[in-house]
Chain A
Amino acid sequence: MAKQKGLPVAVVGAGMIKFGELFGQSYEDMIVGAYRACLKSVDKGVDEEDIEAGWLGTCIPGTGFRREILTGAGLAEPIRFFPKPVSRMENACCTGSDAVRNAAFSVAAGVYDLVLVVGAEKMRDIPSRDSLIAQTGIMYHSWWHPRGSSAPQRFGSLATAHMDKFGTKREHLAMIAVKNHHNGTMDPYTHFNFEITVEQALNAPIISWPLGLFDSCPTTDGAAAILLARQDRAKEYTDKPLYFLGSGLATDPMYLPWKKNFIEFPATQAAAKAAYEMAGVGPDDVDIAELHDCFTITELLTYEDMGFCKKGEGAKWLEEGHPMLDGSKPCNPSGGLKAKGHPIGATGVAQICELWWHLRGEAEERQVKNAEIACTHNLGGLGTTVLVNIFGKEPR
């Protein structure tokens, strides 16, 4: 039996708060902010009572913002959603996009007609050394602990291998950082909104050679929300919904030395393949890509693994200008994780907000013209879990 094309689901609202170091906002404040922005974005309005269920994407409540178990009530409480069902999703950096995926499946299954997805992460209340770095010395296997692992170390090891095999240079990584910072200056929701130069990126302090400060995304506070409706009811809420065309999720070894090699993310390739197949499209059909540039090398590898160019030609594809805002396939028009920030649970949902604005022609200064199909890509761990979601202006 041939699998169906697309999901009978549409995005009918999307909103987020400005990401940043939000000392004045609690986790709950951010959720409420994103929720209200999302409600406001629904062209024909929505009765909150019609929302039947919620999904909350938050990755690291344990140490990121409080040492406490977080349930779906973490969303139900601040928006007074009781007693409606809310599921909480945690799947590393795919947390937000996986919350969207599962919410969409519930609608596709015919269980609900209208559901809410909120991604939120409070990361800046505590110093970054106390949160991500203090936590990530283990990196799955106790063998690694504490033998020098960290997220920059893991991604840096791929940069070194890619440079060695394909001649990619730190300058190429710097170009990605410059591009994303530039795009970010036009996005009102970014954590950072300043330009940088290739020289600045190259001369910045080294975090884990070959990756420097500007190769790394920041830790950020933020929240984003979307509303998903049954495709055949989408027009009740807006004349310009985004149709959910495809979703692919894949996994790969968690422990770094168990990876097949250090020049690719097989899980990105697998997730993209699944998403393309469900959507009935190919990499050439994608007009805009919001990619998971946790580090610049991740974005470069993702050009290749998403099939935008051949393996090993990411740097060339970049040099030719394809991923630039005015290029053939703009990547990270929002500024990406690099400029926008990476509040883990919010990231995948916020990427959809960006596509919402572009596909509806509301992205103002950074608007990508004539875009029909767009995708989001999130990569958790060291490509341990990857999720690709594809959206379009027209249904399948």
Chain B
Amino acid sequence: MSVGILGYGVYIPKYRIKKEDISKVWGGGAAGIKEKSVLGFDEDVTTMAVEAALNAITHAGIDASEIGALYVSSVSSPFINKSIAVIIAEVLEISEGASVADFGGSTKSTTTALQACADFVASGRGNYALVIGADAQVGIPGDPLEHSLGAGAAACLVGKDNIIAELEDSYFSSTSFTGTWRSDGDQFVSRYDDPRYERFAGYPKIIVDAVKGLFKKTGKTGSEFDYAAFTQPDAKAPVTAVKKLGIKSEKMPSSIVSPVCGDTGSSSVLIELAAVLDQAKPGERIIMASYGSGAGSDAFSLLVSDNVDKKRGQVTTVQSYIENKDYIDYYTYEKTIGILKVKGLPEPMSSIIAQPSAERNKDSELKLKAQECTNCGSLNFPRRHYCIDCKGQDFKDVPLPRRGNIITFNFQYVVAVSPEQAPIPVCTAKMEEAKGEYGGNVSSMITDCSTDDVKVGGRVELVFRRCGKELGLVRYGYKFRPVKE
């Protein structure tokens, strides 16, 4: 029984930014990268992963409900603590009870996930497993990584029967050597600014060591491989590695995708594999190797089987994704990745805190102006058209008395204002010398006051204080304070 790839699919967003358009602003560049792919404004790794997965499932010719494991690898998920693999599983409607997980931490995890798929199938736990790699990392404006980090996704459906390429053997080389990283809370990928040491100890060494490890394990040499499919952090390093390993490269240059799409991160190794499988013939052998800064490299040997010809033309090729493109300028790019902030629709707001209402209410809220009914003498506050007591319509402007006696009170432990300290005493007081049955009462918070200081009949006075913040703006007004007798 041989385990291998039953179908594959990729997705590359249609937007590209040219090296010149970034250089125009910042200068610089990244090795061999002429343009890179950029997400559309409504895309992210989750949406790209779904597109790639649908392509792979169609190519494999199976029903998604038959998939028993789904592993998604990304280092640019929109979430730190939420699974995108499960969202994708629900969208694809894979089987109930399937094993679904997110892989990450390094772009190398894609091949770890691929091995997990192979092991899942080989162990007999299920017939089909799907691995997806997807990334859309962003570099600091002006940094070479801004030139190189692109967007893409790729998926491989792993199974046992009717495979188009057998996963012959694999070798894992784990090392914490770090060239690039993104720490918690960072939007952008950082890097050591020393290409000399990166060349000495980084990708060129680590990926070659992993492949050599596989050669040693399997007794094969570079000349037995027709194609290489390596993770492509830029367009030059993979070429050097292929040469060093003595792998034939006349059938296909070893950098197809990165010169025109950039570094597609976790999807890179599978996109390269897809580009190879788009043209490989039965009996040809592929060396595949992933790379992840801070993680190492996994190498795989694949043997292309007869089915590859039967399945030809049944999946959108990498080349057609590369060719389907629209260029955007640097400002659009900045908006898309969120450097230039675009103001979204505001939250619906209440006119109680809107400017016109604040102006209209100044007389009562800042100046404590009240009205005395000329008919019955009731004190109306705030302003009314009809007297609260007698429905009279004539008033005399009077200042609101500052002192009053508590009629009733509460201690608010759960409150709609902040950042006050609970419990907040709140009372309604009858203002001194205020007339009226309904009229003459005022309600407010009591400040500078402990719960022991409040009782029915207690004297309070109005003092000018901050009354919380609304829309980030301090609102001023009056609150009660116990009168010191």
Residues on A facing B (Cβ under 8 Å): 23-26, 28-29, 32, 63-68, 78-80, 122, 124-127, 129-131, 133-135, 137
Contact yes or no, B359 A23, CB < 8 A: yes
Contact yes or no, B351 A79, CB < 8 A: no
Max chain B C-beta neighbours (<10 A), residue from A78, A125, A135? A125
* Complex Cα spacing A127 to B391, Å: 35
* Complex Cα spacing A126 to B350, Å: 7
Stretch at the interface among B144-152, B278-286, B314-322, B381-389: B381-389
Among the listed B345, B352, B354, which residue makes an inter-chain contact with A134, where contact means beta carbons less than 8 Å apart?
Answer: B345
- Asked whether B2 is an interface residue with its Cβ less than 8 Å from the other chain, the reply is no
* Complex Cα spacing A32 to B385, Å: 7
- Asked whether B360 is an interface residue with its Cβ less than 8 Å from the other chain, the reply is yes
Interface string of B351-377 (1 = CB under 8 A from A): 110111101100000000000000000
Contact yes or no, A130 B349, CB < 8 A: yes
- Asked whether B346 is an interface residue with its Cβ less than 8 Å from the other chain, the reply is yes
Given contact pairs A26-B360, A134-B345, A137-B345, A125 touches B354 in the complex (Cβ within 8 A): yes
Which residue of chain A has the shortest Cβ distance to B360 in the bound complex?
A26
Which residue of chain B has the shortest Cβ distance to A27 in the bound complex?
B351
Among the listed B351, B359, B360, B384, which residue makes an inter-chain contact with A65, where contact means beta carbons less than 8 Å apart?
Answer: B351
For A68, the chain B residues whose CB sits under 8 A away are: 350, 352
* Complex Cα spacing A7 to B350, Å: 40
For B386, the chain A residues whose CB sits under 8 A away are: 32, 78-80
Which residue of chain B has the shortest Cβ distance to A123 in the bound complex?
B351
For A78, the chain B residues whose CB sits under 8 A away are: 384-386
- Asked whether B219 is an interface residue with its Cβ less than 8 Å from the other chain, the reply is no
Among the listed A32, A126, A129, which residue makes an inter-chain contact with B345, where contact means beta carbons less than 8 Å apart?
Answer: A129
How many whole Å from A44's CB to the nearest CB in chain B? 21
* Complex Cα spacing A209 to B357, Å: 35
Contact yes or no, A130 B346, CB < 8 A: yes
How many whole Å from B440's CB to the nearest CB in chain A? 16
- Asked whether B433 is an interface residue with its Cβ less than 8 Å from the other chain, the reply is no
For B323, the chain A residues whose CB sits under 8 A away are: none
Among the listed A32, A66, A134, which residue makes an inter-chain contact with B351, where contact means beta carbons less than 8 Å apart?
Answer: A66
Contact yes or no, B385 A126, CB < 8 A: no
Given contact pairs A24-B360, A63-B348, A134-B345, A126 touches B354 in the complex (Cβ within 8 A): yes
A-B contact pairs, 25 of them (CB 8 A): A23-B356, A24-B356, A26-B357, A28-B385, A65-B351, A65-B352, A66-B350, A67-B352, A68-B350, A78-B384, A78-B385, A79-B386, A80-B384, A80-B387, A80-B388, A125-B354, A126-B350, A126-B354, A127-B346, A129-B345, A129-B346, A131-B348, A134-B346, A135-B348, A137-B345
Contact yes or no, B388 A67, CB < 8 A: no
Which residue of chain B has the shortest Cβ distance to A77 in the bound complex?
B384
The tally of residues in B whose CB lies under 8 Å from a CB in A reads 20
How many whole Å from A222's CB to the nearest CB in chain B? 15
- Asked whether B194 is an interface residue with its Cβ less than 8 Å from the other chain, the reply is no
* Complex Cα spacing A23 to B391, Å: 26
Contact yes or no, B350 A79, CB < 8 A: no
Contact yes or no, B385 A63, CB < 8 A: no
- Asked whether B347 is an interface residue with its Cβ less than 8 Å from the other chain, the reply is yes
For A26, the chain B residues whose CB sits under 8 A away are: 357, 360
For A125, the chain B residues whose CB sits under 8 A away are: 351, 354-357
Contact yes or no, A134 B347, CB < 8 A: yes
* Complex Cα spacing A65 to B345, Å: 18
Max chain B C-beta neighbours (<10 A), residue from A28, A79, A80, A137? A80
For B384, the chain A residues whose CB sits under 8 A away are: 78, 80
Contact yes or no, B350 A67, CB < 8 A: yes
Max chain B C-beta neighbours (<10 A), residue from A26, A64, A126, A127? A126
How many whole Å from B354's CB to the nearest CB in chain A? 4
How many whole Å from B306's CB to the nearest CB in chain A? 45
Contact yes or no, B345 A63, CB < 8 A: no
Max chain B C-beta neighbours (<10 A), residue from A127, A130, A137? A130
Contact yes or no, B352 A66, CB < 8 A: yes
* Complex Cα spacing A92 to B224, Å: 74
How many whole Å from A29's CB to the nearest CB in chain B? 7
Which residue of chain A has the shortest Cβ distance to B385 in the bound complex?
A32
Contact yes or no, A126 B359, CB < 8 A: no
For A64, the chain B residues whose CB sits under 8 A away are: 351
How many whole Å from B188's CB to the nearest CB in chain A? 28
* Complex Cα spacing A135 to B346, Å: 10
Among the listed B348, B354, B359, B385, which residue makes an inter-chain contact with A79, where contact means beta carbons less than 8 Å apart?
Answer: B385
* Complex Cα spacing A67 to B353, Å: 10
* Complex Cα spacing A131 to B346, Å: 9
For B352, the chain A residues whose CB sits under 8 A away are: 65-68
Shortest 8 CB-CB contacts between residues of A and residues of B: A125-B351, A80-B386, A63-B348, A32-B385, A23-B356, A80-B391, A67-B350, A125-B354
For A67, the chain B residues whose CB sits under 8 A away are: 350, 352
Contact yes or no, A122 B345, CB < 8 A: no
How many whole Å from B349's CB to the nearest CB in chain A? 5
For A29, the chain B residues whose CB sits under 8 A away are: 385
For B391, the chain A residues whose CB sits under 8 A away are: 80
For A23, the chain B residues whose CB sits under 8 A away are: 356, 359-360
Which residue of chain A has the shortest Cβ distance to B347 in the bound complex?
A134
* Complex Cα spacing A354 to B345, Å: 36
Which residue of chain B has the shortest Cβ distance to A36 in the bound complex?
B385
For A63, the chain B residues whose CB sits under 8 A away are: 348-350
For A79, the chain B residues whose CB sits under 8 A away are: 385-386
For A134, the chain B residues whose CB sits under 8 A away are: 345-348
Interface string of B194-205 (1 = CB under 8 A from A): 000000000000
* Complex Cα spacing A66 to B350, Å: 5
Which residue of chain B has the shortest Cβ distance to A25 in the bound complex?
B360
Which residue of chain B has the shortest Cβ distance to A26 in the bound complex?
B360
Which residue of chain A has the shortest Cβ distance to B358 in the bound complex?
A125
Max chain B C-beta neighbours (<10 A), residue from A23, A25, A78? A23
Which residue of chain B has the shortest Cβ distance to A80 in the bound complex?
B386
For B349, the chain A residues whose CB sits under 8 A away are: 63, 126, 130
**8 Å CB contacts to A: which residues of B387-408?**
387-388, 391
For B354, the chain A residues whose CB sits under 8 A away are: 125-126
* Complex Cα spacing A32 to B386, Å: 9
* Complex Cα spacing A24 to B358, Å: 11
* Complex Cα spacing A133 to B347, Å: 10
Which residue of chain A has the shortest Cβ distance to B355 in the bound complex?
A125
Which residue of chain A has the shortest Cβ distance to B357 in the bound complex?
A125
* Complex Cα spacing A136 to B346, Å: 12
* Complex Cα spacing A122 to B347, Å: 18
